[in-house]
Amino acid sequence: MVIQRWQSLLLLVAVALMCVFCLTPFATVPAAEAAENGVSEIFLKDAPVFMVLNIVIAVLLFISIFLFKNLKRQRTVTLISIVLLAASLVTCGFILYVGMPDASAIWLGGVTLLVVCLILALFAYRFMGRDLRLLRSYDRLR
């Protein structure tokens, strides 16, 4: 399989970033609390609902790569992924500031991966719109 379209490449990078996000810590706990809990970094596995949400996002983005033959469905799946990515960012903030108020976010780690993944998905959606407009212009010429 050869990736020939920009949106496929962007979606593939977004899937890779979501997989990396699932394996990296996204917050740290101060040393005093870490001594009690035995944990100094918070991974995705520590919040199971958040982990399931991000795995669903990665799967939807991966499925979206292979929907290139049906551009409208690919755009729909990508838009659902974008909405879920925004929900994931809100959930991350909720976990950090309400659920674990003493935890501090790792901005150059996990949180940035989510933001970059969201930006890549938005650009992929934009490129899908360009392809759809191009196909419609070819239909007008026939």
Tens of pLDDT, residues 52-73: 999 999 999 999 999 988 889 9
Could you tell me the pLDDT band of residue 106, with boundaries at 50, 70 and 90? confident
Instruction: Give the model's pLDDT for residue 33.
Output: 57
The three-point CA angle 74-122-3 to 5° equals 55
Residue 77, beta-bridge partner list: none
Distance between CA atoms of residues 28 and 37, nearest Å: 12
Query: What CA–CA distances, in Å, run from 71 to 7, 33, 40, 94, 125?
Result: 11, 50, 45, 34, 10
Other beta carbons within 10 angstroms of residue 19's beta carbon come to: 15
pTM to 2 decimal places: 0.85
